[in-house]
Every structure is written in C-alpha cells, then in structure tokens.
Amino acid sequence: MAIALCPAGTARAIQPYVGGFKCANQLEAAVCISSALILERRQGALANSFKRRECSTLVVRGRGLLYPTITVLRRAAGCVGQKGVLAVQDGSSPHVEEERAEQAWDNAGSPNAPIVPTSDLVSLQIPKPLSITDLALPPRHGSDVRVAYQGVPGAYSEAAAAKAYPRCEAVPCDQFEAAFQAVELWLVDRAVLPIENSLGGSIHRNYDLLLRHRLHIVGEVQLGVHHCLLGLPGVKKEELLRVVSHPQALAQCEHTLVKLGVAREAVDDTAGAAQFIAAHQLRDTGAVASARAAEIYGLEILMDGIQDDLDNVTRFLMLAREPIIPRIDRPFKTSIVFTLEEGPGVLFKALAVFALRSINLTKIF
Ligand SMILES: O=C(O)C(=O)C[C@]1(C(=O)O)C=C[C@@H](O)C=C1
C-alpha cells in the first residue's frame, strides 16, 4: 500500500492533523487504509459520503484550509477496521511511504456518519515540513508500535521506549522537534520524552516542548540510568583530556568527572557522544553513555556505574496524538497546565480545587 501526493510538488504538511497537506490554495491529503476503500471529497465542496472502491488509497481533496481530521480518517478506517497510514511530501520529489495497516482502531465511527461540518474547520499553522530524508523510516519487522526518540541507538530514550513498548520499533530522531513532528505527521505512533531525573530534577526544556506541541501524555516509564565512561579500545581513563555527553548525563556524573579532572563538553545525546568518538577515533576523549552504546560503537567501558547516585532514575513520558480518556476503575495521573491572574491567594484558590476533591498532586512545576 502506498501513496504519493501533490503532483505539483508544492505540498506542505499541516500540523497537527493527520494527512493535512496544503498545496497553494488547495489541500490534498491521502492516507492508505486498506485495499478496498476510497474517500472522495469533491473540489470546493464538502463530501458527505464515503465510497467503497477497489483501490488501495484513501484520498481527501479540498479547496482552502479544509483538512482531513482524525474523525474522517477514523471513520474511514472503521470501514475496514484498519489503521490509516500517511505519506509525506516535501519539495519537488514525491516521497512515498509504505506501511501495512496492522492495528485495528478502537471506536472507529460509522462509515456513513457525516463528515466534519465546515464550521468546525479551523485555521492551521503550517510548520516546516518534516521530510522523509529527515527521518529515516526502517521497515516495520512486524512490530506493533513505532516510537520516535531523540538520539541514536544506544541512547537511554531508546531503552525507555523499549521498556514502555517491548515490541516497538524505536525510530531515532536527531532532535526532539523531529520526534514530535514524526508523531504529528503519523510517521510514528508515539514519541518518548525524558522529563525528570532523580539527580538533575526537571528537564525544563522538554516541558516547554510539551506546551508548544499538541501531543498528549499517554504513559510514563521510569528507567534506571546506569552510566559508563567509554573510550576507544586500549585507551586508559588517565589519558582522557575531555569527556563528552548529554548535559543531563554529565550533570549526573559530576563527582566522577571532577575527580578525573577532565574537560566536559555537551552534545545532543549520550550514545551520539560514543558514536562521535568511534567515528573520529578520538583517543583523548571519553563519553558518558550506556553499556549498550559501548557495544554498538565498539568502545570499551573504562569505568562502570559512574553516576553520583546509584539510584539514578529518569522519568520518560510517552506522547501520542490522542489523549487517553481516563477510566474510573483505576487511578490515572493527569498533567494540567494553567495560568492565573496575578492576585493575593490565587494559587491557593487554584490548588484548593484539587484539595476539595481529594485529588493528590504529585508534582507542581
Ligand atoms: O542522551 C540520552 O541517552 C538520553 O536518552 C537523554 C537523557 C536526558 O535527556 O536526560 C535521558 C536519560 C539520562 O538521564 C540522560 C540523558
């Protein structure tokens, strides 16, 4: 199953809706959902019916800022009980994404229900498109969830993804922005985001990312982070002049690194630091990273368990396009962001809302 979009080659992805592509004054989107369905939307008019056809493609077309909403896609997917998949186009060369629809969607609407009315259509921002070349998409290997993480293989975020979704396909992204966009553009199902560490505290930058994007927290996982000092084979730790790693990892190993008397340099992720040393054969440079990173990049473990506290735990959030609707049969954790007008006692009053309903607060940020 495959889709190619926008023959003119000017399509731009629209965030955060699935399959939204703005092309000049027209919108085109396509999603591949099954081998037996086409959703047709006529130019300039709102379609209100789905047509079943012998075709492997679901296509939605419209003029202006129409957008195929998740409702549309869900409903369409409901026709065949399969999950939709999206193709992305950037610039003039058409990119085609292929994927098997593997998961049945919950609560898919009736195929005959009306499409979202025009009044519901909202203006959408048009972000810089994420191109397929920005995010290499390996084959699925039968895994059931694709999880984007920031870093390269061997990063702790990859381990967190595997802990949360043991059969997942972890998709490396060079930046958190790319991981978020990958979810928003339906290239992956989830993104994993480190949010807090037992030694370093809150990761403020990532809280800001949560505010800037419209993804929802659907889970969390706590991972024991066991840092090693890595170097090229044959190198002794006394020979190191500098150590590179993610700033959080460097902070978590402060005591050891101070004792070693090395310069510290921050890079994007721990495993990336290991990869960098291996790629440039840097004999005077060490990396703070996982034992798995040592294995992947052919480095030696010069010191093991170098974090300042043996119980070094990082909490990671799992993000998805859609929220989980909390059930009442078990407790759910919810994150709320709000602002208050300046004034005496306003914070007290806001918190009273929770206290009066016996809602336990685990963290105020
Ligand atoms: O660089 C990595 O390996 C990451 O997964 C990032 C990260 C972080 O951002 O805190 C995750 C866990 C550790 O606390 C150190 C680094």
DSSP 36-64: S-B----TTS-----B--S-S-EEEEEES
- pLDDT-derived band at 136, boundaries 50, 70, 90: very low
Angle between helix axes 204-212 and 176-184 (nearest 10 degrees) is 30
Kindly state whether residue 93 falls inside one of the protein's structural domains: yes
- In the 8-state DSSP scheme, what is residue 160? H
Kindly state whether residue 134 falls inside one of the protein's structural domains: no
Q: Which atom of ligand 1 is nearest to the CA of 269?
A: 1
Could you report the per-residue pLDDT of 235-244, keeping only the tens digit for each?
999 999 999 9
Does the N-terminal peptide bond of residue 16 adopt cis geometry, omega within 30 degrees of 0? yes
- Same domain for 21 and 124, yes or no, is yes
- In the 8-state DSSP scheme, what is residue 120? G
If one compares 300 and 126, the residue with the highest pLDDT of the two is 300
* Model pLDDT, residue 330: 79
Average pLDDT, the chain: 70
Active site residues: 314, 316
Tokens at residue 70, please? 């998740």
* Model pLDDT, residue 143: 62
CATH number at residue 177: 3.40.190.10
If one compares 5 and 224, the residue with the highest pLDDT of the two is 224
Q: Which of 278, 304, 330 is the last residue of a domain?
A: 304
Q: What's the mean pLDDT in 252-281?
A: 96
127-141, 228-242, 265-279, 280-294: least confidently modelled range: 127-141
* Model pLDDT, residue 300: 98
- Same domain for 108 and 20, yes or no, is yes
Hey, whose CA ends up nearest to atom 1 of ligand 1? 269
What's the rounded Cα separation, in Å, for the pair 346 and 262? 48
Rounded distance from Cα 271 to ligand 1 centre (Å): 9
- Same domain for 348 and 209, yes or no, is yes
What's the rounded Cα separation, in Å, for the pair 87 and 13? 10
Highest mean pLDDT of the ranges 4-13, 77-86, 115-124, 275-284: 275-284
Q: Which atom of ligand 1 is nearest to the CA of 249?
A: 15
Could you report the per-residue pLDDT of 148-175, keeping only the tens digit for each?
999 999 999 999 999 999 999 999 999 9
56-60, 256-260, 299-303: least confidently modelled range: 56-60
Asked if 153 contacts 296 with a C-beta cutoff of 8 angstroms, the reply is yes
Q: Which atom of ligand 1 is nearest to the CA of 252?
A: 14
- Same domain for 238 and 254, yes or no, is yes
Ligand 1 pocket, Cβ-based, cut-off 6 angstroms:
151, 155-157, 194, 197, 203, 225, 246, 248-249, 269-271, 314
- Same domain for 66 and 43, yes or no, is yes
- Same domain for 193 and 338, yes or no, is yes
Best of 270, 292, 308 for a ligand 1 pocket test (most atoms within 8 Å of beta carbon): 270
Highest mean pLDDT of the ranges 19-28, 32-41, 237-246: 237-246
Among the listed residues 8, 5, 7, the one whose alpha carbon sits nearest the alpha carbon of residue 19: 5
Best of 269, 311, 312, 317 for a ligand 1 pocket test (most atoms within 8 Å of beta carbon): 269
Q: Which helix (H) or strand (E) holds 201?
A: strand 201-202
- pLDDT-derived band at 19, boundaries 50, 70, 90: very low
Could you report the per-residue pLDDT of 92-118, keeping only the tens digit for each?
112 212 222 222 222 223 333 333 333
- Same domain for 297 and 336, yes or no, is no
What's the rounded Cα separation, in Å, for the pair 165 and 219? 10
Q: How many other C-beta atoms are found inside a 10 Å radius of the C-beta of residue 99? A: 20
Q: Which atom of ligand 1 is nearest to the CA of 290?
A: 3
Could you report the per-residue pLDDT of 314-340, keeping only the tens digit for each?
999 999 999 888 777 877 888 888 888
- pLDDT-derived band at 128, boundaries 50, 70, 90: very low
What residues form DSSP beta bridges with 223?
Answer: 314
* Model pLDDT, residue 127: 37
* CA 135 to each of CA 182, 199, 356: distance values in angstroms, whole numbers, following the listed order: 8, 32, 47
Asked if 31 contacts 58 with a C-beta cutoff of 8 angstroms, the reply is yes
- Same domain for 55 and 88, yes or no, is yes
What's the rounded Cα separation, in Å, for the pair 159 and 147? 11
Rounded distance from Cα 78 to ligand 1 centre (Å): 39
Tokens at residue 56, please? 């492997």
Rounded distance from Cα 178 to ligand 1 centre (Å): 16
Count the domains in the chain.
Answer: 3
What residues form DSSP beta bridges with 86?
Answer: 31
Kindly state whether residue 362 falls inside one of the protein's structural domains: no
Range of the domain at 289: 228-304
* Model pLDDT, residue 173: 96
% residues pLDDT > 70 (the chain)? 61
pLDDT > 60? residue 132: no
- pLDDT-derived band at 220, boundaries 50, 70, 90: very high
Radius of gyration of the chain measured on its C-alpha atoms: 24
Q: What's the mean pLDDT in 58-87?
A: 34
Kindly state whether residue 194 falls inside one of the protein's structural domains: yes
Kindly state whether residue 365 falls inside one of the protein's structural domains: no
pLDDT > 80? residue 62: no
DSSP-based helix, strand, coil % in the chain, nearest 5: 25, 25, 55
* Model pLDDT, residue 25: 31
Rounded distance from Cα 2 to ligand 1 centre (Å): 35
* Model pLDDT, residue 328: 79
What's the rounded Cα separation, in Å, for the pair 352 and 358? 10
* Model pLDDT, residue 327: 75
- Same domain for 159 and 71, yes or no, is no
- Same domain for 210 and 254, yes or no, is no
What's the rounded Cα separation, in Å, for the pair 145 and 161? 10
What's the rounded Cα separation, in Å, for the pair 353 and 164? 32
pLDDT > 70? residue 138: no
Kindly state whether residue 79 falls inside one of the protein's structural domains: yes
- Same domain for 344 and 251, yes or no, is no
Kindly state whether residue 135 falls inside one of the protein's structural domains: no
Is the reported ipTM for this assembly greater than 0.90?
A: yes
Among the listed residues 324, 364, 288, the one whose alpha carbon sits nearest the alpha carbon of residue 106: 324
DSSP H helical segments within the chain, as ranges? 70-80, 156-164, 176-184, 204-212, 247-252, 254-260, 270-280, 291-297, 346-355
- Same domain for 120 and 32, yes or no, is yes
pLDDT > 90? residue 284: yes
- Per-residue burial over 17-36, b if 16 or more Cβ lie within 10 Å, else e, is bbbbbbbeebbbbbbbbbee
Reading phi first (left if > 0) and then psi (alpha if -120 to 50, else beta), residue 261 is in left
Q: What's the mean pLDDT in 190-196?
A: 96
Kindly state whether residue 364 falls inside one of the protein's structural domains: no
